Amino acid sequence: MTANHPVALITGAARRIGAQIAETLHRADFNVVLHYRNSATAAEQLAATFNQRRPDSAICLAADLCQSTQVQHLAEQSQTQWGRVDALINNASSFYPTPIGSATEAQWDDLLGSNVKAPFFLSQALAAALTRQRGAIINIADIHADRPLAEHTVYCIAKAGNVMLTQSLARELAPAVRVNGIAPGAILWPEQAAELSDDGKQKVLGRVPLARPGAPADIAATVLFLLTGAPYITGQVIAVDGGRSLT
């Protein structure tokens, strides 16, 4: 994955961890496909920065990943620009509480759709392209895939499915395509409905052996390692959590 600028498709690439992954891969000489759903301005600004740095190295593509026809179209468009896709980073994810007694079917569809359905069908749509390039898939999971988070039952179910998706695809797409996952801990504090109070943040950090939050760069560096420095690793989910999964 070093010749003629390998191509990486990053879902949810306009902001937060996705944007840092895109930045890290672009600096490592990848061309990047920046997927977004609503954050058009941020995605376009990021692509413009990349293209100023290295012309014809970034494009933006919009898609609602819960709509199968849009997922298929995203996969097709991603291959058109440079005629290849070497890496798929399934980063886009919904996250919010669904306390028992208040969860809705729409929330179930959204959380399972963004965390399991979309990564599966996007991986399926790009499997042939990734096989040709002997490429890789990385799914962004969560440490709560196997340690449930209170009042987030549907989200935890979805991330558990994401982990099994990683393991299943690793077997099915071997030996041509490696598939791994990354399980972040306290990297960026959640927003909007899932936002934590200051006391809540301190409670989380109190369970982290390294006693500090991580940074998006920690996730991005792990992505780069799995893509370029780990040719014999597949089917694994690496926790990047400051040791929180030990407690």
**Across all residues in the chain, what is the average pLDDT?**
93
pLDDT in tens, 104-152: 999 999 999 999 999 999 999 999 999 999 999 999 999 999 989 999 9
Fold of 7-240: Rossmann fold (3.40.50)
More confident residue, 201 or 224: 224
- Say if CB 179 and CB 130 are below 8 A apart: no
Measured from the Cβ of residue 180, the count of other Cβ atoms closer than 10 Å reads: 25
pLDDT > 60? residue 230: yes
Structure pTM?
0.94
* Percent of the chain whose predicted confidence (pLDDT) is above 70: 94
CA distance 144 to 126: 27
What ranges do the domains of the chain cover? 7-240
Which residue out of 36, 96, 155, 232 is catalytically annotated? Answer: 155
pLDDT in tens, 33-43: 999 999 999 99
Res. 204 pLDDT band, cuts 50 70 90: confident
Would you call 155 a catalytic residue per the annotation?
yes
pLDDT > 70? residue 223: yes
